[in-house]
Amino acid sequence: MLSQVKWAELFPTKSSVVIFAAYVGFFTNQGILVRFTQSADNSYPYNTVTVVLLTDFIKLIITSALYCKDHPIQSLFIEVFKNMRVCSLYLVPAFLYSLYNNLAFISLSAFDPTTYYLLLQLRVALTGIVYQVIFKKRLSGTQWMSLILLTVGCMIKEMDFSSISNLFGGLSGKGWNFFLLMFQMSCSCFAGVYNEYLLKKESPSANIFIQNVFMYLNSIVCNIVMVMLHEPLSQTFSSESLSAVLVPSVIILMLNNAGGGITTSFFLRNLNSIMKTFTGAIELTCSALLCYVLFGIPIYLKTVISIATVSYATILYSSNPVSREEDTNKHKYDVEMSHPLMNSDSKVTVV
């Protein structure tokens, strides 16, 4: 089976291997670090809203600094103001991600955590549907089979077999909440695939750090609006909230999440959203092993079955992956990001 893996199609460049490994590393660390920052009763001794907003500011600062490393700082502001139309396109994924995060609280209040995370795995297959619609590219039977197996494998990990009847019985009378959960998953899937579309189709030769600036500016605005609907900003950034956040463990968590967010843009530009769903197989295995070593969390039989299922799904997908289309303009992606934001003959279409 491993001999059938098409490595050249999975990782078209050497840099894509590094990006893939970095992405898996950041998001595996995220689960470990979140667990590490929790109190003994699994609660958070800090304001999570403050952490989310500060992480967005950190992303904006880091990506701006990386751009300014090779460009004068004046050009950063010139490019942003000159390309406000491109910036406005990023309002769509930023708003959808913000909406997804807020709907999560509603869904978790309606469903118990096991049911919630079980149903949430349906987004794996949903990503395939959204990918086909936006990129107008049909997935093969093998690719769909691997996505379905990946969905089942993730569900097994979250399923409580001792109370399986109660699990599905918990959906009774919650049709509206189930609809909201499906809408929440749609927000996440569409935001991810649409972000990939912006990176590859709307401005394929754009400087990726400028694109990240657009994303994080919109994300900060959307999150501030969402916060103001729930609590005053003075409470979010109160001295008490900031003192609880500005401790080494939470700072490391925010830096890791910022690194993961920035790496995601490189991942989507060099690989694709379908490949992104399969990183969960490696993250699941790494998380299970690290949680066992660091926190003594036991590895149950269902975890082993889940890892085996998603690993097989990943190998199956690897034998027939979604190949990265060549850019029609034949521009080679510049690792040093020396391209201008848009070429003089480039066009931006609002979708």
Please state the pTM of the whole predicted model. Answer: 0.75
| DSSP per-residue string spanning 5-25 | --HHHH-SSHHHHHHHHHHHH
In sequence order, which ranges of the chain are alpha helices (DSSP H)? 7-10, 14-37, 48-68, 73-82, 84-89, 91-110, 113-120, 123-135, 141-158, 164-169, 175-197, 208-228, 233-236, 239-245, 248-270, 273-295, 301-318
Q: How many CB atoms sit inside 10 A of residue 217's CB? A: 18
State the Cα–Cα distance between residues 235 and 254, nearest whole angstrom: 19
Pair 191, 130: CB distance under 8 Å:
no
Per-residue pLDDT of the chain (351 residues; tens, 9 = 90+): 555 667 777 788 888 889 999 998 998 888 788 878 888 777 788 888 888 889 999 999 999 999 999 999 999 999 888 888 888 999 999 999 888 877 876 776 676 655 666 677 777 788 888 888 888 888 888 888 988 988 888 778 767 666 555 555 555 566 778 888 889 888 988 988 998 888 887 766 678 899 999 999 999 999 898 888 878 888 888 898 899 999 999 999 999 989 998 998 899 888 888 888 777 667 777 877 887 888 787 888 888 888 888 888 888 888 888 765 543 333 443 333 333 343 333 333 233
Q: 3 CB contacts (<8 Å, ≥6 apart)?
A: none
Q: In the prediction, which pLDDT does 137 show?
A: 82
State the Cα–Cα distance between residues 47 and 99, nearest whole angstrom: 19
What is the token pair recorded at 176? 């509206």
State the Cα–Cα distance between residues 170 and 158, nearest whole angstrom: 15
Cα–Cα distances in angstroms (integers) from residue 81 to residues 89, 128, 197, 213, 300, in the given order: 14, 35, 22, 12, 54
Collapse the DSSP code of 107 into the 3-class scheme (helix H, G, I; strand E, B; otherwise coil) and give the result.
helix
